């Protein structure tokens, strides 16, 4: 009997949850396919629901009694009232409400498209070096921050281009394929630091190859890689020469930017007790010949980023002259949908409290 009762409780919880979601599902019926979850890892909270449901139903039967009577033998012969049949209802409502609360915390969202417009632009993949030498302070405040500023301005000033990003150190990682969602891309680039890629080194070949992989199937008339690095290739599984051959075969231009010039530079190595940076002077090898060859053989330009303002202006002048392709771009906004789930959860919690307080009180 206890096992059957537990099965029935599980069915009731599922039914209550389904009924509570019926109205939100109907209201969002046109957006259900576009629904996404901002915090899907919070679904792990659903593992707590069975424990809560058991504690509020079957677990209530195991409590230590505080009211002692002479005999309850005659009580078993009494008719079972409707309140006794609904004794598990508060626990069912609590478990269903908790399920909905977990779904709400996972933050369901949908993207509402406003309109579709046409743009003429090019496809760009940025390959950003995150090796340890990018902490050098010859470009202020550091090479990495200067490079990120260049990339973020590139993103901001080119609204009609699809832009993506790759970061590399000892390995290469895709941040975003070419996209019109420039706000999101700029945020992602802004979060990059020297700890993003755990393996140190400068895998220029891997960085280029990863960027090429996201451009090879592009239908754009002009496909470009903007490579920002300060070192020589000393890591990774892809030889830069082989990556250069792939770029030439695909007809993709690689604009290479050398961050720094190979002189001895100050690098932050620690912080003092007052959180002020401690610098040491170091020299990092560069390979301008490699970067020049990569740019020249793909029909692009080579830059040395001693002056970031000059770098920005000259790069935009070159990119503006490239052949454009007409794209159709859908603009839209992300809309939070968690209230559609949170409100039913709150209603179920209130119903459970009212049922326990007014109708189905337990003694003791």
What pLDDT digit, counting tens, does each position of 326-361 carry? 665 555 567 888 899 999 999 999 988 888 777 766
pLDDT in tens, 17-55: 999 989 888 888 777 777 888 888 999 989 998 888 888
Q: Average pLDDT of 301-309?
A: 72
pLDDT over 60 (residue 203): yes
Angle at 16 between CA 10 and CA 17, to 5 degrees: 90
pLDDT in tens, 153-170: 888 888 888 889 999 988
Task: Assign 104 a pLDDT band (cuts: 50, 70, 90).
Answer: very high
Residue 212, CA atoms < 13 Å, CB-side half-sphere: 23
What architecture is domain 115-329?
A: 3-Layer(aba) Sandwich (3.40)
Nearest Cα to Cα of residue 132 among 63, 226, 80, 201: 201
Q: Is the dihedral of CA 11, 14, 20, 25 positive or negative?
A: negative
Listed residue (226, 356, 246) closest to 300, CA to CA: 226
pTM exceeds 0.85 for this model: no
Q: Which pLDDT does position 200 carry in this prediction?
A: 77
Q: Where are the domains of the chain?
A: 2-66+77-107+338-359, 115-329
Task: Reply yes or no on whether the pLDDT at 149 is more than 70.
Answer: yes
What pLDDT, on a 0 to 100 scale, did the predictor assign at position 116? 55
Rounded alpha-carbon distances, angstroms, from residue 123 to 114, 128, 131: 23, 16, 25
Report which of residues 79 and 284 the model is more confident about: 284
Q: What's the chain's average pLDDT?
A: 80
Cβ partners under 8 Å of residue 83, min gap 6: 359, 360
pLDDT mean over 192-209: 84
pLDDT-derived band at 100, boundaries 50, 70, 90 = very high
Cβ atoms within 10 Å, residue 361: 10
CA distance 197 to 216: 24
């Amino acid at each position: 009997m206890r096992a059957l009762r537990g099965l029935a409780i599980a069915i009731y919880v599922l039914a209550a949850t389904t009924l509570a979601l019926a109205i939100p599902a109907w209201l969002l019926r046109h957006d259900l396919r576009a629904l996404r979850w901002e915090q899907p890892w919070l679904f792990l909270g659903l593992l707590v629901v069975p424990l809560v449901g058991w504690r509020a139903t079957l677990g209530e039967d195991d409590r230590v009694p505080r009211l002692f009577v002479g005999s309850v033998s005659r009580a078993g012969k009494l008719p079972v009232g409707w309140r006794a049949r609904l004794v598990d209802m508060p626990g069912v409502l609590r478990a269903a409400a908790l399920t909905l609360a977990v779904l709400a915390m996972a933050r369901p969202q949908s993207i509402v498209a406003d309109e579709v417009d046409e743009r003429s632009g090019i496809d760009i993949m940025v390959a950003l070096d995150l090796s340890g030498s990018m902490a050098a302070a010859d470009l202020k405040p550091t090479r990495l921050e200067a490079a990120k500023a260049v990339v973020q301005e590139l993103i901001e000033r080119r609204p009609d281009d699809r832009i993506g990003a790759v970061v590399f150190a000892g390995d290469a990682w895709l941040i975003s394929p070419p996209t019109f969602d420039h706000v999101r891309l700029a945020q992602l680039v802004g979060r990059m630091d020297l700890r993003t890629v755990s393996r140190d080194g400068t895998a220029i070949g891997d960085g280029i190859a990863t960027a090429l992989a996201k451009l090879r199937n592009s239908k754009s008339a002009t496909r470009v890689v903007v490579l920002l690095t300060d070192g020589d290739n000393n890591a990774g599984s892809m030889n830069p020469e082989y990556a250069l051959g792939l770029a030439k075969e695909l007809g993709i231009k690689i604009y290479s930017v050398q961050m720094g010039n190979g002189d001895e530079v100050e690098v932050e190595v620690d912080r003092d007790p007052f959180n002020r940076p401690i610098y040491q002077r170091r020299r990092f090898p560069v390979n301008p010949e490699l970067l020049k060859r990569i740019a020249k053989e793909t029909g692009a330009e080579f830059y040395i980023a001693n002056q970031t303002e000059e770098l920005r202006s000259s790069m935009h002048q070159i990119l503006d002259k490239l052949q454009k392709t007409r794209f159709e771009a859908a603009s839209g906004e992300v809309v939070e949908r968690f209230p559609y789930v949170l409100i039913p959860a709150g209603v179920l919690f209130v119903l459970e409290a009212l049922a326990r307080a007014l109708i189905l009180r337990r003694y003791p």
